[in-house]
Structure 1
Amino acid sequence: MVFGVDMSTWVSDIAVERFEDVETQAVGPDPATALVFCSRSEEAYVLGPRTRGRYFAGVDAHRLRVRLRPGMARAVLGVGVRELVDRVVPLRELWGVPVGDPSSLRTALAARLASLDPRHDALVASAARLVPSVGVAGAASRLNVSERHLRTLFTAAVGLPPKRYAKVDRVRRAVATGGAGGWTRVAAELGYYDQSHLNAEFRATMGVAPGAFAAGRYPASTPCQRGLAK
């Protein structure tokens, strides 16, 4: 709870992340939207859903990252999330007020959440939990809506169609494992048909095969955008 506001309905996690001055750092995809403040910038930004991995020249920095629950970003930010996919946008452009430090970000977010109805986009939030495991048809059935209606609501609120969301989230989880226990095991645990299926989706998203990624053999890096590791 921050400033008297329970953020758990809207926020999946709040973390302080440390980046080091190394040759290359890797960031996996993430279908969720996040609010961040980096020590190398002078204002807070919105990181939209990230559909591909990114590799950037390492920087010595830290950042506060507030990861919004998929399905809740539209209500929190006041814009359709499709506009934010693979983008970095200053938060002031969406909320109309400057947010210049971590404390101000927490305060502005708490004030924003205090004015929102937690039932806003609740159906989409439920679908985001269901789609990765039961698919679009299964989620629609459990939520008593048509598949077409669910796709429309989901895409507007999350920024990605549900099938694309599930694919990006699965690669995100694969990246997070680091291949622990072997990629065949990871493929089975995450619901891929087989390791070849994992390899294909991983390479398409991260630009390298899983084994090369785990070994640190990354593609060419780019400068870190606004210090945000986007």
Structure 2
Amino acid sequence: MLVPDVDLRTWVTDVAVETVPPSGTQASPPDPATTLVFCSAAEEAFVVGPQTRGKYFRGAEAHRLKVRLRPGRARAVLGVAAHELVDRVVPLRDLWGSAVAPGELRRVLAERLAAVDPQRDALVTEAVRTVPSSGVAATARALHVSERHLRTLFNDAVGLSPKQFTRVERVRRVVASGKPGSWARLATELGYYDQSHLSAEFRATMGVAPGAFAAGRFPEAQPC
């Protein structure tokens, strides 16, 4: 994994180069963030918007450069409301008006970020940080905004409602935990009502029960 430049660190969570194997299934958990993907197979850059459900892929071998924006940053970077990108994959040139090579990305990002409203950006950052643990009402009070304004802000900047955002973040933590056999404890740690709540939410989002996922028993994969 490559570490983002310091001046972009508050906008990019990570930059990774990955190889997609020619066989087998690749599981992709839901993600509240928007990701820029440069794919060798397509020879083009794409924007993968916030994903509300897990996906499973198979396909030919390819190499990809992935730049994951922090949740809430898509609006400022791409110039469109994030809710327009939810569960979509869009060619980057359709949003920026022209193709961008990987080597030009840092320069283009820096140019776009120079025009960002720092006050609004600070509000989005704090809302994204606080909502999962505190909820909408408490976060709105802490930020001195109405609950309606907070929901509108999330819809525009993140693309998801606060409730959707919290659900996706929790499921991602279940996927990352890889703890088969300890679901009850994990449910408590992540704020689920109980193990049944965790299992139901995981199945609705990932298409299989958490135990089956941990064992590698995935749903049928789609061509990548």
Query: Do both proteins adopt the same fold according to a TM-score greater than 0.5, normalized to the shorter chain?
Result: yes
Give, in whole Å, the separation in 1 of the partners of 2:13 and 2:140: 23
- SS across alignment from 1:137: helix
Shift of 1:117: 4.2
State whether residues 180 and 186 of structure 1, in contact with CA within 8 Å, keep that contact through their aligned partners in structure 2: no
Which ranges in structure 1 are unaligned for 5 or more consecutive residues?
225-230
| Larger RCO (alpha carbons 8 Å, 6+ apart) | 1
- TM-superposition CA deviations, 1:101-124 (whole Å, max 9, x none): 421333332332344344443212
* Equivalent position of 1:192 in the other structure: 192
**What percentage of aligned pairs have identical amino acids?**
67
* Equivalent position of 1:169 in the other structure: 169
The farther-off stretch of 173-182 and 111-120 is 111-120
Matched, 1:67 2:68: yes
* Equivalent position of 1:83 in the other structure: 84
- SS across alignment from 1:15: strand
Shift of 1:180: 5.8
- TM-superposition CA deviations, 1:97-149 (whole Å, max 9, x none): 212x4213333323323443444432122111111111111211111111111
State whether residues 41 and 62 of structure 2, in contact with CA within 8 Å, keep that contact through their aligned partners in structure 1: yes
Superposed CA RMSD in Å reads 1.8
* Equivalent position of 2:155 in the other structure: 155
Q: Letter of the aligned partner of 1:176 in structure 2?
A: A
Give, in whole Å, the separation in 1 of the partners of 2:133 and 2:116: 29
State whether residues 18 and 62 of structure 1, in contact with CA within 8 Å, keep that contact through their aligned partners in structure 2: yes
- Equivalent residues in 2 for 1:2-17 (5 A)? 2=5, 6-17=7-18
Shift of 1:209: 0.0
- TM-superposition CA deviations, 1:173-230 (whole Å, max 9, x none): 2111122672223222211111111100000000000000011111111100xxxxxx
Which ranges in structure 2 are unaligned for 5 or more consecutive residues?
none
* Equivalent position of 2:203 in the other structure: 203
After superposition, the Cα gap between the structure-2 partners of 1:96 and 1:76, relative to the gap in structure 1 and judged at 3 Å, is same
- Equivalent residues in 2 for 1:7-46 (5 A)? 7-46=8-47
Give, in whole Å, the separation in 2 of the partners of 1:15 and 1:91: 18
After TM superposition, the score normalised by the length of structure 1 is 0.89
Give, in whole Å, the separation in 2 of the partners of 1:91 and 1:20: 24
State whether residues 76 and 112 of structure 2, in contact with CA within 8 Å, keep that contact through their aligned partners in structure 1: no
After TM superposition, the score normalised by the length of structure 2 is 0.91
Q: Letter of the aligned partner of 1:223 in structure 2?
A: P
Aligned residues: 221
Q: Letter of the aligned partner of 1:136 in structure 2?
A: V
Give, in whole Å, the separation in 1 of the partners of 2:207 and 2:154: 27
Q: Letter of the aligned partner of 1:185 in structure 2?
A: R
- SS across alignment from 1:125: helix
Q: Letter of the aligned partner of 2:21 in structure 1?
A: E
- SS across alignment from 1:44: strand
